[in-house]
Amino acid sequence: MSVPRIGVLALQGDTREHLAALTEAGAEAMPVRRRSELDAVDGLVIPGGESTTMSHLLADLELLEPLRRRLADGLPAYGACAGMILLASEILDAGANGRKALPLHGIDMTVRRNAFGRQVDSFEGDIAFEGLDGPVRAVFIRAPWVERVGAGVQVLARAADHAVAVRQGPVLATAFHPEMTGDRRIHRWFVDMVTGRV
């Protein structure tokens, strides 16, 4: 595969920024809103946004189970912030009153929503990211963190003594938003994951 076709789930959240970052990283990037578009991609980015809203839109548009199946079949995926929450196998503080975030079971991990606090507690800083040269500027906005990882999950970065970037096989997740900086290394790394180079 020379130029992979990578979709960005375009139901809610910062879709445009990920499409631009993927294009800069060498992929053919396209928004994904329908089953036919999901079926056409080699990899998928699940952007930040509101995880409960996104998961219920997935269900309403009949994408939830097809996406779970594609992930189980080995679809490479990358989730940022809300995307990390949805890729988990267990979500803490998932919501109430029947409006809960629904896990996609892409990574064997337990994630806590809004773990770093409310919107006013958002912050950014430089963190070490295993596999990349030099630190990554990480933007945390109502960010989750990982409280438990399964045996096959690699922790790639930590902040405040919690895992904030993880990988399991072809699935990558970060609690922060690399699309909001000019640094494309994480997107390039994901493109390399899709093409089987890393």
Residue 1 exposed, middle or buried by CB count within 10 Å (0-12, 13-18, 19+): exposed
Please confirm, yes or no, whether 65 is among the known catalytic residues: no
How far apart are alpha carbons 179 and 183 in whole angstroms?
8
50 is in an annotated binding site: yes
In terms of DSSP bridges, do strands 90-92 and 154-159 run parallel, antiparallel, or are they unpaired? unpaired
The H-or-E segment that residue 79 falls in is strand 77-80
Secondary structure class of 149 (helix, strand, coil): strand
Catalytic residue among 18, 56, 177, 187: 177
In terms of DSSP bridges, do strands 77-80 and 43-46 run parallel, antiparallel, or are they unpaired? parallel
Please confirm, yes or no, whether 81 is among the known catalytic residues: yes
113 is in an annotated binding site: yes
Task: Return all residues near 104 (Cβ < 8 A) that are at least 6 apart.
Answer: 64, 67, 68, 71, 86, 87, 88
49 is in an annotated binding site: yes
Please confirm, yes or no, whether 177 is among the known catalytic residues: yes
Catalytic residue among 37, 81, 130, 162: 81
Tokens of 119: 């919107």
How far apart are alpha carbons 176 and 122 in whole angstroms?
10
Catalytic residue among 17, 56, 179, 187: 179
141 is in an annotated binding site: yes
Which residues does the annotation place in the binding site for L-glutamine? 49-51, 113, 141-142
The catalytic residue positions are 81, 177, 179
Which residues does the annotation place in the binding site? 49-51, 113, 141-142
